[in-house]
Structure 1
Amino acid sequence: MIIEQQFTIKYQYRIHFTEDIFTTQNTTFSDIIYSHSNNRFTPSLLFIIDSNVAAVHPELQSEISRYISHYAIGSRFINVLIIPGGEKAKENDQAYQSILNAIHQFKIDRHSFVVAIGGGAVCDVTGFAAAVAHRGIKLIRIPTTTLAQNDAAIGVKNGINAFGKKNFLGTFATPVAVINDSRFLRTLPYKTWIAGLAEAIKVALIKDAAFFERIEQLAPALHAGDETAMQETIIECAKLHLQHIANGDPFESGSSRPLDFGHWSAHKLERMSGYRLLHGEAVAIGIALDCTYAHLKGYLNTAALNRIFNLLWQLNLPTNDLLLSQTEELLQGLTEFREHLGGVLTIPLLKNIGTAFNVYTIDEPVMYQAAKKLATASPAISLV
């Protein structure tokens, strides 16, 4: 005998673009809390703050406290935990366990909210802890880097690293809302500001040639730190990511993951570098590697390859690293990526700018050749 029932769950959340989220003139945060609260319960709030953000914005906690008091949100008392920023937040389970401990200590229940304020890694580990505690606590992400605002914080994935592998532990869980506050971008180191653009280039390359051309036009302004140019890029990148989540395979039941273009090697390079490479920098190198491979295989023409490299160079994004000469270790990333995909290797490559396709095997001698070519290549030297 089989008893069967079908049901559909509707997911919806919004990405808010605003400035100075915790000034009392800005109602965005309070509106989100009230619209997602049960009137019969008084929610508590737990703020998980990136240590880098806390250091650069020492006034942030007092601003949050004043805001919560002004709008009489929940218990009117804020619970705060500061965790290390950057990939070290995900490298072991210390930050994850400290968040779970805070959820327990401050009695954060399913009618309450966990609010992540930080870069992509802090959003990842906080989302993972919120998803597993009480089988799911409402999560609000306030990403503070260009990469987190246009990519890492706007999807449905959470996780931490384990067993020497990127995002080995994790969940799919939809946040209540994402709030992109442009204020936080102004205090970013230039290297971090620029690195996030690799994800915008990635999504443009696989989905939208017109967006790639627009990034080319904006490149001088982006390089110079222009806020308006960056906001335009982040917003368009976020739109394309959300379209993919809505129309594709949001919970990754299959093996095709176009948004992971350039990522099989990027994840490996991050770890090989001891996280000297920022995620965006590793993605830029991963894009360069896969595009060089696609060119050597005859998939991608010379003109397109040159445009891609020229844009990466214009934005001071790396396309080479001596780690690429460690080809045997690097290509172990293909095995790890296959495991992460569920056992079937699926690598997105380019036929042209804006046109991607999947391959299911990699010609390793050609990939070796591509990696060796890039390992010591100077941006001043043509690769083709």
Structure 2
Amino acid sequence: MIQRPIPVIFQHRVAFTHGAFDPKNHTLRDLVADASALGAPAKVLVLLDAGVAEGNPRLVEKIQTYAATHADTLTLVSAPMILPGGEVCKNQWPLVEKIWQAIEYHKICRHSYVIAIGGGAFLDLAGFGAATAHRGIRLLRMPTTTLSQGDGGVGVKNGVNYFGKKNWVGTFSVPYAIINDLDFLSSLSTRACRDGIIEAIKVALIRDADFFRYLQDQGEALGRLAARPLETAIRRSAANHVEHIATSGDPFEYGSARPLDFGHWVAHKLEQISGFAVSHGEAVAVGMAIDLLYSVEIGLLDGEVAEQILDLISTVGFDLWSPWLDREELGRPVILAGLEEFREHLGGQLTITLITEIGKKLEVHEMDQTAILRAMENLRKRYSSALAVRDLA
């Protein structure tokens, strides 16, 4: 047997800016210029989330003007290719083929760039198309939501849904770069803008107690979606995610642990049960609430600490319960199937991340379903009480 280690070093770049397609802004231009190896402008194919295009009516024009201004560095092979976004786009395999067809038609190669502009689900789709064409085209992500700028968009995963399961087909591929243009946030709906805050809370809970205290201090302002604390939360959330990817020793998840998926075994199943009517952020909020109260039930987490966290989740605008959790099959809550699906997606033994205190995590390999049900009942009662108070108001 011949055996040799193959060390590979990736550069993970995340730039923050305002007005990325202002011709005077050289962030995109310089990133492309840094890797130009052919002595000529690089070919660029832009894939654009239809929802982002609709919310930013002059965006296509701005992209074309930017490319024309910097024609010495990049060549736009066509007008931006507008494709459906949102979670439903990941259920449409023909969209992957459309991306491949565009890459083939425009002769995009490994020295070229695919620039994907959109929310997290759209980036998953576009990234999968780019990663599987020619065994990998340089991908430059431009996340446009709080959720993708602080979490999914700065990761190394791409994927689409298959067999009715989230991200069943996909790749691990470090993008050439990520550009977080914070100006995109102004075009988001309140609901979409709020979603990224929950992932900031999540990563603070498992990695960064100081960050959690900042989020507590700014809780009411974040609930109002005040620009400055929101941008700070996104930057710090992104920094924590990139730090984990770079230093965990398992960026491509060869092991059985996914610490950044705290609260996600519930969230992924809840999204699926609801037909994705529940957004990812809303589902993560509920998933975290269940896991927090579960941890209290089994004596892993102090009850007062759990209440502080639940209070912050509520303060920034999330419900702690979803009526979709009441769905049952054969007398058993459907949500419990999320445990096995979570294990199956990664393979190996079940590994669930819980927290023992703010900023510290613990990985467990089994969950007491009776304790899970008690935690859910606790949340159901809280939700019913909150509805009663709202009705009286």
Q: Does the alignment reach a TM-score above 0.5?
A: yes
TM-aligned CA deviation for residue 314 of structure 1: 0.4
More deviation, 345-354/140-149? 345-354
Q: Distance in 1 between matches of 2:177 and 2:26?
A: 14
Q: Distance in 1 between matches of 2:168 and 2:10?
A: 25
Pick from 348, 355, 360 the counterpart of residue 343 of structure 1. Answer: 348
Q: Distance in 1 between matches of 2:238 and 2:200?
A: 9
Partner of 1:64: 63
More deviation, 9-18/217-226? 217-226
Q: Distance in 2 between matches of 1:380 and 1:99?
A: 49
> C-alpha offsets along residues 228-280 of structure 1, whole Å, 9 cap, x if unaligned?
11111111111111111111110101011110100011000001111111111
Partner of 1:120: 120
- Identify if the C-alpha distance between structure 1 residues 76 and 252 changes in structure 2 by more than 3 Å, giving closer, same or farther: closer
Residue 271 (structure 2) pairs with residue 266 (structure 1)? no
Residue 336 (structure 2) pairs with residue 357 (structure 1)? no
Q: Distance in 1 between matches of 2:367 and 2:352?
A: 8
Q: Distance in 1 between matches of 2:79 and 2:110?
A: 16
> C-alpha offsets along residues 111-135 of structure 1, whole Å, 9 cap, x if unaligned?
1100010000011111111000000
* 1:308-347 equivalence runs, <5 A: 308-326=309-327, 328-347=333-352
- Identify if the C-alpha distance between structure 1 residues 279 and 323 changes in structure 2 by more than 3 Å, giving closer, same or farther: same
TM-score, normalisation: structure 2: 0.94
The two structures, once aligned, show a CA RMSD in angstroms of 1.4
Q: Which runs of 5+ in 1 are unaligned?
A: none
Residue 124 (structure 2) pairs with residue 134 (structure 1)? no
Contact 1:65 1:78 in 2 (8 A): no
The letter for the 2-side match of 1:324 is L
The letter for the 1-side match of 2:54 is A
> C-alpha offsets along residues 267-316 of structure 1, whole Å, 9 cap, x if unaligned?
00001111111111101111001001111111111111110110011011
The letter for the 2-side match of 1:331 is L
Q: Distance in 1 between matches of 2:192 and 2:321?
A: 18
Q: Distance in 1 between matches of 2:341 and 2:254?
A: 17
The share of aligned pairs that are identical, in percent, is: 42
TM-aligned CA deviation for residue 78 of structure 1: 3.5
TM-aligned CA deviation for residue 350 of structure 1: 1.3
The letter for the 1-side match of 2:209 is A
> C-alpha offsets along residues 123-153 of structure 1, whole Å, 9 cap, x if unaligned?
1111111000000000000000000000011
TM-score, normalisation: structure 1: 0.96
The letter for the 2-side match of 1:368 is L
Q: Distance in 1 between matches of 2:384 and 2:98?
A: 43
> C-alpha offsets along residues 17-54 of structure 1, whole Å, 9 cap, x if unaligned?
10000011100010011112213454211111111100
The letter for the 2-side match of 1:213 is R
Contact 1:143 1:180 in 2 (8 A): yes
TM-aligned CA deviation for residue 338 of structure 1: 0.5
Partner of 1:192: 192
TM-aligned CA deviation for residue 380 of structure 1: 5.6
Partner of 1:5: 4
